[in-house]
Amino acid sequence: MTARSPHRILILPGAGMIVVGTFTLAIAAAFYYNFGAEGVGRTAGMTPEQMEEYINDTWFTNQYVTCFTRFGRIFSGVGFILLGSALVKWKIVSSWLGWFTIIFGLVAISVILFIPVNFETYKPLFHVKALWLAVMGVYILTKGIQLPES
């Protein structure tokens, strides 16, 4: 329904970018979970010197996966801006929800671009995204979407 013209111009790319960003973040998270579990097993019983060598050997892989995290946030942020723009422009949902979507996208991009790699800073973005999904779902289920006739 929302994939019809002219709505699809912003909705499909926005939703697509959010999905790509989410899967990119999932790949990074899966790596870190797996890597952490493996690291615990491998480092058990190592001397401090061996552990330092092990950590130094994994540095490049860690930096590569950190890029997955950053790109996932950027892709999601761009998607939220596009989707929020469609929500506001065509008044598909309440305007506060559309503006919140745009602002969340801008914040997600800004945090990644202007704050060096700091996963503690990125954690709230995950929770806000989950909250956005819940609020959007409840809103659509209770009030539906409003599309203009044109």
How confident is the model at residue 135, as a pLDDT? 97
Query: Quick check: is 150 in a domain?
Result: no
Domain count across the chain: 1
How far apart (Å, rounded) are the C-alpha atoms in residues 140 and 59? 44
Listed in sequence order, the residues at least 6 apart from 129 whose beta carbon sits closer than 8 Å to its beta carbon are 76, 104, 108
Per-residue confidence band for 81, with pLDDT thresholds at 50, 70 and 90: very high
Query: Quick check: is 3 in a domain?
Result: no
Query: Quick check: is 149 in a domain?
Result: no
This prediction's pTM: 0.87
> 73: domain range?
8-143
Query: Quick check: is 27 in a domain?
Result: yes
Query: Quick check: is 2 in a domain?
Result: no
Query: Quick check: is 1 in a domain?
Result: no
* % of the chain residues with pLDDT over 90: 58
Listed in sequence order, the residues at least 6 apart from 38 whose beta carbon sits closer than 8 Å to its beta carbon are none
Using a 10 angstrom Cβ sphere, with 0-12 exposed, 13-18 middle and 19 or more buried, the burial of residue 12 is middle
How confident is the model at residue 99, as a pLDDT? 98
For 90-127, write each residue's pLDDT tens digit. 999 999 999 999 999 999 999 999 987 787 888 899 89
